[in-house]
Structure 1
Amino acid sequence: MSSSAMDAIVELVELSESMRQAASLLADDDPSDDAAPRRPSTFLNAVALGNVGSGKSAVLNSLIGHPVLPTGENGATRAPIVVDLQRDPGLSTKSIVLQIDSKSQQVSSSALRHSLQDRLSKATGPGRSRTDEIYLKLRTSTAPPLKLIDLPGIDQRVIDDSTINEFAGHNDAILIVVIPAMQAPEVASSRALKLARDIDPEGTRTIGVLSKIDQAASDAKTVACVQAILSNKGPRTAAEIEWVALIGQSVAIASAQSGSVGSENSLETAWRAEAESLKSILTTAPQNKLGRIALVDTIAKQIRKRMKVRLPNLLTGLQGKSQVVKDELARLGESMVQSPEGTRAVALELCREFEDKFLAHVTSGEGSGWKIVASFEGKFPDRIKQLPLDRHFDLNNVKRIVLEADGYQPYLISPEKGLKSLIKGVLEMAKEPSRLCVEEVHRVLLDIVNATANGTPGLGRYPPFKREIITIASNALDTFKSDAKKMVVALVDMERAFVPPQHFIRLVQRRMERQRREEEVKTKSSKKAQDAEQAMMNKVSLLRLCLSKLSRQKTNPISKIKIPKRDLICRLLVLAAK
């Protein structure tokens, strides 16, 4: 790569990092906080789009400077491959360092290529409709510090619109549309170009690459079409973007890696040779659009354009943020915050604001505050109900516990020891639900602390101070959690210890008293029934006696009364019933 192109890329990397930090400040993030999630910048992303066999992987290999990505029929890209490049000038042009987490390992391009081929073949086996991306992080001295994304051919089934949008839909990612030179006459109908137009209607981040120029060298019509496109004289849809011509199968890389040139600068020399070969084929094409060096310069140019588009909005946001800070300083008093006493006063005011919001969450149920009540009134009782009490009060288990507590037969006289052991065992089971309740409330309080800190406007203006408050509050909650666990266990132990014999005696006495009352009620009701039955029997006996006497008398004293005998008997029965 030419030194001017490398200098431009390095400057763009530094500018991209500055813009990322500015965006973090606008979002009230702390750009110096390594633990905070970083907002990824997509200015340095380059996504290759094209059909199967268009030469996408070969173009990206040319950018990398090593034939890392599989090419050809057996190396068709069947899953998104993300190559995160970092430039290390201390390495030789033939060295590649693979980084996995914090470890580094020097590898060869052929080993990486074969490994990728194996992973692609396994990832797209039978029954697999969509594959995850393959991520590589490489350090070389030959590649620009870009993130290259090699997507599967857009005419394959393994890729869909959602996958394309996931990588190419970012507003600042560079789109590299790769079209074989033999298809240059039909460039207006290229599906890859139409897709890029849909994603980037203005064409401000799209680059066209005409690959495999060497395969079209003998076709004069195709060469003429290629030269017209490079001169911006092609179809309107193609004339609105920048175009570069490359030799398809990375001949320059292959010759350099084989050592045919022989020097440490062999790769640089090979790229120049590629450009000279292209000049001999495309005699009327612009010289600054031929070869790998031209591609890097064009990518840097497009990245710079995207940054120029983004900078005005970013600067406007920073100016607005600066005005907010100035207004806040004016409200607090600039002289106040320029002294240690003033700084302490501001810190105390922010702490008070944080405390008020935290208490509002806890007391009113705002935010996640309602989860605290739900833990005590919902989940804790449910855990208590799920305790295996049936197994504990199983008859065999009760016998075992009573025998262990009282020995053989003393429980017939003094059963409180066995009962006490039973209750102690049940209360011991309540310790684990109590601890889980403490853990759950602790997690809710940690969420409330973070939500309160993020919802306190004053703390958002001082990210390091906000982070320190969250740390202090979290540490305090950890201490409270340990104390609370000890306290709930102590409360359970107190309940287990306070089970006096009088408690069981009163239980037995109350049970016996209840049984006595029930028996008295039964006795009273049965006695009333017996008395009523006896009275009825007495009356019936009296009636029978009267009737028998009347029947034995020859002269009936009441025969003179003219009352039918049936009516007389009925009246006697009524009198007997009364």
Structure 2
Amino acid sequence: MATHGGNPNMELLIPMINQLQHIFTSVNAKLTLTLPQIAVVGAQSAGKSSVLENIVGRDFLPRGGNMVTKRPLVLQLITSQGQEYAVFGHKPQQRFINYADVRAEIENDTKAIVRDDMGVSNLPINLTIFSPHVVNLTLVDLPGMVKVPSQGQPPDIVKKIDDIILEYISNENCLILAVTPANIDIVTSDALVMARSRDPMGKRTIGVLTKLDMMGKGHNAREVLLNKVVVLERGFIGVVLRGQRLDEYGRASKELDIPAALENERQFFQNDPAYRDIADRLGVPYLQRTLSVQLTEHILKCLPDLQRELQGRHRDLGKEVAEYRASAMFESSSSSDTKALVGLTHELHENFDTALQGTHLKEADLKTLTGGARIANIFRERFPFELVKTELQDKDMRNQTIVAIKNIRGFRSGLFTPDEAFEYIVQMQISKFEDPVMKCVDMVVSELLSIIHEATNKMKRYPLLRQVTEDLLTQYLREREIATKQACSTYIQTQLSYINTNNEDFIGFAG
């Protein structure tokens, strides 16, 4: 393995970054640090999985005809002596010796997050492989790009996958491994088009051409590999993916194992006239070494900015810790957690009550209505306005009543005015009240949700507690919303069930 300019300390850079990644993951820290890494980008059929498995030298990724990479896989390769094993970030105490178990765990953890068989998630899976057969390297396998949703996939799957990819490659410290089949037009490569959207000058992009052995007779990718068609600062590397072993009759029997595939690749480049003179710069072993060297050099280049970023976050976190310690909630007592929770709950109650009941004049907002004032405004102005819009004008009501009376009598002439005509008109008018009533409830609920969100702002130091508290309050409010709407609906139905035509309003109207 190369020692990067004779300096063995350079070999420690990738493990150092991996350790940082592990620390952030273990403490569930969202520190927004732009750690250097290599993101693997390509279409679903580009051969990303085969490239990664050939680099590792093991079959460990899920396979299938449909989309199999549904979550980013942060793959950290660590050179080590002794027994080869794998460790998942979500199961740090368990060592996986069998790679079939690694594949099964990837599938199981994916299903735990992505319930929909055709969905995707941006929540990564962290996998570290310790082996004497790998070089220090960190790769992020991203979901394969699609142009149109296939049967059963959600209509927004294309955008979801693109968003996940862009989340990684938009990081200026991220190198982009753009995997493209050699048997398509390189200029229209999905991977290169995506990479170019965030790396237009091609400074961070490494091109990988797969399926060189499937280009057809008389065709080769020599010009592309020599960086003469699409120019990338880091160039292109060609690989041959795993083919199928032929039986004694020349029929494909099963997929080649990785050692056989690597030997098959070596012979292909050595024997093909188009690639023979550049064979030492092609193939998976060369790709493996090149990626390790380029990532190490890239980390070295990023170190000053990364150091400043870490120091800045350290200062910010130090200030937060000082604020926590200064808080009265953090007393040296075994019941400090309970006291803290009680204190936060009491503060939440006061904030909510103050928002509803109103604030002192010195604290009041002089520009816009807030909290309870907005709810009062709904009852006093918005709701009456909505009710007025449903009212009939006297002329219209008289006309409708006359028409109703005539329709009830038919061809007969009547001596008395039928009550049914008045009841029908009144019931029709009362039923119109339901929409503005429900709209009023919706507006009040919306304001209460805003008050809840603002009242829990003091809990922002404890984002999980704030989220749980807000969820519980929202759930309770939604339950009360349903009960309130049912009560309003019941009241309206009660009014509709009996119309008192002896009321003076009817007598006055008849007069």
TM-score, structure 2 length as denominator?
0.54
Q: Which residue of structure 2 aligns with residue 63 of structure 1? A: 51
Among candidates 238, 247, 261, match of residue 245 of structure 1: 238
- The 8 Å contact of residues 243 and 256 in structure 2, kept in 1 or not, is answered as no
How far does the alpha carbon of each residue in 1:379-437 deviate from its partner, in whole angstroms, 9 at most, with x for none?
A: 7634652478858934232467899xxxx74559xx8x975775455334423431332
In terms of Rg, which structure is larger?
A: 1
Q: For the residues of structure 2 that align with 1:294 and 1:179, how far apart are their CA atoms?
A: 17
Residue 270 (structure 1) shift: 0.9
How far does the alpha carbon of each residue in 1:49-92 deviate from its partner, in whole angstroms, 9 at most, with x for none?
A: 9xxxxxx965546426699899xxxxxxxxx9987676993279
Q: For the residues of structure 2 that align with 1:253 and 1:461, how far apart are their CA atoms?
A: 55
How far does the alpha carbon of each residue in 1:4-45 deviate from its partner, in whole angstroms, 9 at most, with x for none?
A: xxxx99998896576468786458xxxxxxxxxxx9999563
Q: Which residue of structure 1 aligns with residue 83 of structure 2? A: none
Q: Does 1:89 align with 2:99?
A: yes
SS of residue matched to 2:170: coil
Q: 1:423 to 1:477 in 2, by over 3 A?
A: same
Alignment of 1:405-484 (within 5 A): 409=415, 411=417, 422-423=425-426, 426-453=429-456, 456=457, 458-484=458-484
- The 8 Å contact of residues 265 and 283 in structure 2, kept in 1 or not, is answered as yes
Residue 451 (structure 1) shift: 5.0
Among candidates 305, 313, 321, match of residue 325 of structure 1: 321
Q: Does 1:273 align with 2:264?
A: yes
Counterpart amino acid of 1:462? Y
Alignment of 1:486-525 (within 5 A): 488-489=488-489, 501=502, 503-504=504-505, 507=508
Q: Which residue of structure 2 aligns with residue 209 of structure 1? A: 208
SS of residue matched to 1:241: coil
Higher helix share: 1
- The 8 Å contact of residues 39 and 174 in structure 2, kept in 1 or not, is answered as yes
Q: 1:339 to 1:60 in 2, by over 3 A?
A: closer
Q: For the residues of structure 1 that align with 2:247 and 2:405, how far apart are their CA atoms?
A: 83
- The 8 Å contact of residues 336 and 342 in structure 1, kept in 2 or not, is answered as no
- The 8 Å contact of residues 48 and 177 in structure 1, kept in 2 or not, is answered as yes
Among candidates 272, 280, 283, match of residue 291 of structure 1: 283
SS of residue matched to 2:99: coil
The percentage of counterpart residues that share the same residue type is 16
Alignment of 1:284-363 (within 5 A): 289-296=281-288, 298-299=290-291, 309=302, 312=307, 313=309, 316-317=312-313, 319-332=315-328, 334-335=330-331, 339-340=335-336, 342-348=339-345, 350-352=347-349, 354-355=351-352, 358-359=355-356
Q: For the residues of structure 2 that align with 1:388 and 1:299, how far apart are their CA atoms?
A: 77
Q: Which residue of structure 2 aligns with residue 102 of structure 1? A: 115
Q: For the residues of structure 1 that align with 2:507 and 2:197, how far apart are their CA atoms?
A: 85
SS of residue matched to 1:477: helix
Q: For the residues of structure 2 that align with 1:427 and 1:396, how far apart are their CA atoms?
A: 19
Residue 484 (structure 1) shift: 3.3
Q: Does 1:47 align with 2:41?
A: yes
Among candidates 139, 146, 150, match of residue 141 of structure 2: 146
Q: For the residues of structure 1 that align with 2:347 and 2:403, how far apart are their CA atoms?
A: 63
SS of residue matched to 2:331: helix
Counterpart amino acid of 2:478? D
Q: Which residue of structure 2 aligns with residue 573 of structure 1? A: none
Q: Does 1:365 align with 2:365?
A: no
Residue 193 (structure 1) shift: 8.6
Q: Which residue of structure 2 aligns with residue 396 of structure 1? A: 403
- Aligned pair count? 408
Q: For the residues of structure 2 that align with 1:166 and 1:199, how far apart are their CA atoms?
A: 13
SS of residue matched to 1:176: strand
Question: Over aligned residues, Cα RMSD in angstroms?
Answer: 6.6
Q: 1:84 to 1:399 in 2, by over 3 A?
A: same
Q: 1:500 to 1:243 in 2, by over 3 A?
A: closer
Counterpart amino acid of 2:100? G
Alignment of 1:188-207 (within 5 A): 199-200=198-199, 205-207=204-206
Counterpart amino acid of 1:464? L
Q: 1:62 to 1:314 in 2, by over 3 A?
A: same
Counterpart amino acid of 1:47? V
Q: For the residues of structure 2 that align with 1:215 and 1:411, how far apart are their CA atoms?
A: 92
TM-score, structure 1 length as denominator?
0.49
SS of residue matched to 1:334: coil
Counterpart amino acid of 2:243? I
Q: For the residues of structure 1 that align with 2:441 and 2:484, how far apart are their CA atoms?
A: 7
Q: 1:349 to 1:303 in 2, by over 3 A?
A: farther
Q: 1:164 to 1:500 in 2, by over 3 A?
A: closer
Residue 466 (structure 1) shift: 0.7
Q: 1:321 to 1:399 in 2, by over 3 A?
A: farther
Q: For the residues of structure 1 that align with 2:194 and 2:402, how far apart are their CA atoms?
A: 76
Q: Which has the higher mean CA deviation after the structures are superposed, 373-382 or 80-89? A: 80-89
Q: 1:215 to 1:410 in 2, by over 3 A?
A: closer
Q: Which residue of structure 2 aligns with residue 381 of structure 1? A: 385
Q: For the residues of structure 1 that align with 2:455 and 2:344, how far apart are their CA atoms?
A: 16
Residue 324 (structure 1) shift: 1.1
Q: 1:344 to 1:164 in 2, by over 3 A?
A: closer
- The 8 Å contact of residues 34 and 306 in structure 2, kept in 1 or not, is answered as no
Q: 1:41 to 1:81 in 2, by over 3 A?
A: farther
Q: For the residues of structure 1 that align with 2:475 and 2:107, how far apart are their CA atoms?
A: 41
Counterpart amino acid of 2:99? P
